[in-house]
Amino acid sequence: MSNDPKDAPNVSDSLMQLFVSNVFKKNNVAEDDKRKLSSAEKQQIRQIVEDLQSQVNEFIEKQKQQKQEKTEAEEVQEAPKNTTLREIIRRRKDK
């Protein structure tokens, strides 16, 4: 599997299909017993999926931002600090 965002809908669809078929199989639902969804039910499912996608995207953006802030903070800390000979001697005495 790749991390390409373009593949996300395909992966999502296949996972959803697998999940639904697993639930049907687990509950012994035959093909004859399945009914078609009404347009209201379809719209409700679409809304749920859109909400989940927006939450996932927000989470991913937040993680990227936190990672970027962390790397920026590490870069600032890694900057070499000019120490005087006096400070070096004090550190050695303290050890």
CB atoms within 10 A of CB 83: 10
| pLDDT tens-digit series, residues 40-95 | 998 998 999 899 999 999 999 999 999 998 888 777 666 566 778 888 888 888 87
Residue among 23, 21, 17, 12 nearest 49 (CA): 12
Q: Enumerate the domain spans of the chain.
A: 38-77
The residue assigned the tokens 């006096």 is 86
Residue among 39, 21, 37, 18 nearest 29 (CA): 21
Is the model's pLDDT at 9 over the cut of 60? yes
Give Cβ neighbours of residue 24 (< 8 Å, ≥ 6 apart). Answer: 34
